Amino acid sequence: MAEIIEMPKLSDTMSIGTVVQWLKKEGDAVSSGDMIAEIETDKATMEMEVFSDGVLLKQYAKAGDQVAVGDPICAIGQKGETLPETGGKSSAPANAEPENKEQPTPKDEPKPEAPAPKTETAAGNKTVPEAVTESKPAPAPASTDSGERIKASPLARILASEHGVDLSSLKDSGTGPGGRIIKKDVLDAAQTPAKPGRTPEAPAKPSASAPAQPAPKLADVDIPVSNMRAVIASRLLESKTQIPHFYLDTEVDMQALLAMRESVNASLSKLPSEQGGIKLSVNDFILKAAIEALRRVPAANASWMGSSIRRHGDINLAFAVAVEDGLVTPTIKQAHNKTLRQIAFEVRDLIAKAQSKKLKPDEMSGSTFTVTNLGMYGIHSFFGIINPPNAAILSVGATVRKPVVDAKGQIVPGDRMHIGLSCDHRVIDGAVGAQLMGAIREVIENPALMLV
C-alpha cells in the first residue's frame, strides 16, 4: 500500500509549514534522499527530503497551502496503487480560515472532505503589526457577486489590491495549478489597457495662481503574516513581558580598532579566498570582542532555568541578520575556540544562508549570547530585546567621527561608538552587567587582545 508522508517538524518551534513549491510533480519517480518540496517554516525556507522509493502518487497540499506538523502532505507508492485513507486530516490554504469564519459557505460550493486543522492565522494573531488587524480579512475579495469562490494565491490578492485589479475578471484565465490566479496573471492584467467606456470629462486647466494638487494617497494594504513573522511577534512579546530587562550604555574609542582593521585588510584582502584572503568588517571585530569579554565575565554567559541558573561552558554566539520577513539569529557554535578569521568566514557563510532561507535548524539554535548591530543603518544607539534563553543581548551602534578630549586635555578628532546591553535581571545583576561592558570596551580599545 502507498505510504502517507506527513509534514515534518523542521524547526524546534514549528507547528505549521507552508508549501512554497513542489520540486516533484504527481507521477514523478522519487528515491530516498530526494528533495520533493520547499517548505516555509517559522524560521526559514527549507527543502523537504523523502526516505522512500516509488512514485509521487498524490499531493495533498498545493503551493501556498499551510499544513500542520503531522498532517499528510503527499503519498508515495507504486504506480496504480490505491491511495490510503488520510485519517481525516487535510491541508489548509493560507488565509482560508478567516474567510470561512466570517462568511458562510455558498450552497453551490462542494463541502470539503475533512475539516481543516485549527491553526492561528495572520488575522487571528494578536501580536502582529498594526497593518494586520483582527477586524480585517485578507486583502482582496475571495468570491464573485454570485458567491463563487475565486482561487488566487495570497501574493496575487495583495497585488490585485495594490493595482486595482478585479480578481473576478480573471477567474477563468488563471495560469496557476488548477486555474489558480497567480502573480503573473495580476501583473499582466494591470498592464493591459482598460476597455474604453464613457470618456470622462477633461479636468479644467488650472490657472497660474491655482494651488498645487496634493500627492495621490497610497491605498491601505493588509499584508498576511508569514510563519516567521508570527513566531517573531510571539517570542518578542514573551521576552518583553516575562523577562525583567534592564539596560546599560557606554561609549568606546574605536581609533585603535579601525587602525588595526585597516592594517590587517591591507594584507588579507589581497589574498585569494583559498589562501585565507578576506576583508574583515567592524562587526567581525565586535563579535570577537564580545566573545573575549564573555571569557572574562562567564556569569553573563548564562540562562534562567526556573529553579536554577545555568552557566554555559561553551560560548555559542548568535547575531541578528535582517531578511525579507523579519530577522533570524544564526549561531556561531563554540565561538571561543575560533580565531577572528574563522569567525569572519563563518559569519559570511551564515549570512548567505540566512538571506537565501537555507539555514538549518541547528544553525539557528543553542545560542548563549546575542549581538545585534544597526550601525550600518546610521543608528547611534539602541537597546535590543533579549533573545531567550540568553540572559543578555549586545546592541551596537554606528562609529561616529566627533570632537573628543585626549589625554593631554586637548580637543581632537575622535572615532566613538555607543554600545548598549540589555540584561535579564533574574540572571545578571547591575554589577555583572557593568563588568561585561567594561570587558567589551577594554578589548575593543586594545584590539590586539583579540589575536592572542
DSSP 203: P
DSSP 208-248: TTSPPPPPPPPPP-PPPPPHHHHHHHHHHHHHHHHS-EEEE
> How many Å apart are CA 370 and CA 439, to the nearest integer?
16
DSSP 425: T
Phi-psi region of 27 (alpha: psi -120 to 50; beta: other; left: phi over 0): left
Considering only CA atoms, which of 17, 6, 44 is closest in space to residue 119? 17
> How many Å apart are CA 125 and CA 133, to the nearest integer?
8
What does DSSP say about strands 65-68 and 16-22: parallel, antiparallel, or unpaired?
A: antiparallel
On whether the CB atoms of residues 270 and 408 are closer than 8 A, the answer is no
Instruction: Give every CB contact of residue 274 below 8 A, 6+ residues apart in sequence.
Output: none
What does DSSP say about strands 65-68 and 54-59: parallel, antiparallel, or unpaired?
A: unpaired
* Candidates 53, 245, 253, 425; catalytic one: 425
∠ CA(297), CA(299), CA(304), 5° rounding?
Answer: 150
Place of cell 574605536: 254
* Candidates 28, 166, 188, 429; catalytic one: 429
Considering only CA atoms, which of 352, 356, 355, 365 is closest in space to residue 38? 356
In single-letter form, the type of residue at position 265 comes to: N
**Residue 194 grid cell:** 482598460
On whether the CB atoms of residues 326 and 347 are closer than 8 A, the answer is no
Q: Verify whether residue 425 is a known catalytic residue.
A: yes
Terminal Cα-to-Cα distance of the chain (whole angstroms): 62
Q: Verify whether residue 42 is a known catalytic residue.
A: no
> How many Å apart are CA 127 and CA 281, to the nearest integer?
35
Within 13 Å, how many C-alpha atoms sit on residue 175's CB side?
A: 8
What SS3 state is found at 202?
A: coil
**Residue 269 grid cell:** 584582502
What positions carry a catalytic annotation?
Answer: 425, 429
